[in-house]
Amino acid sequence: GLMATLPEARPKSVTLPLKSTALVCIDFQKDFMSEGGFGHALGNDVTKLSEECLPGAQVLLAAAREKKLLVIHTKEAHREDLRDCCDMKRIGPRCPPEGKRIGEVLQEGMGRLLVDGSPGNEIVDVVKPVEGEVVLCKPGKGAFFMTGLNQLLRERGISHLIFCGVTTEVCVQVTMREANDRGYECVLVEDATASYIPKFKAAVIEMVRSQGGIVGYTTEKSEDVAKAL
């Protein structure tokens, strides 16, 4: 059909116009999901992220591809010379110690932390982009900051965004809020997003849909979205 309705969405049912809906996959990178990446360098336990959100994300991706939805993959990725990484983010007082900073090598085989082109900066295999999908490198947490994302979405007539990715309360939440301010209707799919800190994921889900859906909608299951598409 031309429309997909998600009756289970909260705070209320939502109808997505398929021609103007995109799937946004946030930062499914080894840098956040694997040992020796940036998330690990920050002191997080990265072992549970994948099992929590990748099966759901695979379901969403398969459905979006079948229905020919625009698919956007973001990567938190800095240029090799780090000219798009401010000192605050790389060497500021809240940064990890030397050896664990952006641009440095924490673990052989992963390459430089959070640098475009490093093996560790790539999207994990099971949700990796295919030909024709948009891959967007972003230097910040939000996908609208210093990228052409807003213009790209406008050019393609996109009004509705389905969100999955990591981490829920950092890059996913920031990007949803940026999108909401720019007039995009947003749906966060709960079983296709994850945080290192489970109570933060739960809090984001609750706050997104509070006050009548102040930031957008949430829906629990990727399978429901896939069936509706």
Q: Is 173 in the site for ligand C5J (CB under 6 A)?
A: no
Q: Is 178 in the site for ligand C5J (CB under 6 A)?
A: no
Q: For helices 173-181 and 198-208, what crossing angle results, to 10°?
A: 20
| Length in residues, the chain | 229
Does the annotation count 48 as an active-site position? no
Does the annotation count 138 as an active-site position? yes
With the C-alpha atoms ordered 122, 127, 133, 136, is the resulting torsion angle positive or negative? negative
Residue 85 beta carbon to ligand C5J: minimum distance, rounded to whole angstroms: 12
Task: Please select the residue that binds ligand C5J; options are 149, 171, 205, 208, rule is CB under 6 A.
Answer: 171
Task: Please select the residue that binds ligand C5J; options are 64, 166, 205, 229, rule is CB under 6 A.
Answer: 166
Total residues interacting with ligand C5J, rule: CB under 6 A: 8
Q: What residues numbered 180-199 form the site for ligand C5J, per CB under 6 A? A: none
Stretch that binds ligand C5J, among 100-108, 164-172, 186-194, 218-226 (CB under 6 A): 164-172
3-state secondary structure 115-182: ECCCHHHCECHHHCCCCCCEEEEECCCCCCCCCCHHHHHHHCCCCEEEEEEECHHHHHHHHHHHHHHC
Strand order of the β-sheet with 134-138 is 134-138, 70-76, 21-26, 160-166, 185-194, 217-219
Residue 128 structure tokens: 């990796």
Residue 155 beta carbon to ligand C5J: minimum distance, rounded to whole angstroms: 25
- Nearer to ligand C5J by C-beta: 22 or 171? 171
Q: Is 27 in the site for ligand C5J (CB under 6 A)?
A: yes
Q: Is 163 in the site for ligand C5J (CB under 6 A)?
A: no
Helix (H, G, I), strand (E, B) or coil at 203: helix
- Nearer to ligand C5J by C-beta: 149 or 170? 170
Does the annotation count 171 as an active-site position? yes
Helix (H, G, I), strand (E, B) or coil at 204: helix
Q: Is 76 in the site for ligand C5J (CB under 6 A)?
A: yes
Tell me the β-bridge partners of 80.
none
Residues identified as active-site: 27, 138, 171
Residues that bind ligand C5J (CB under 6 A): 27, 32, 76, 141, 166-167, 170-171
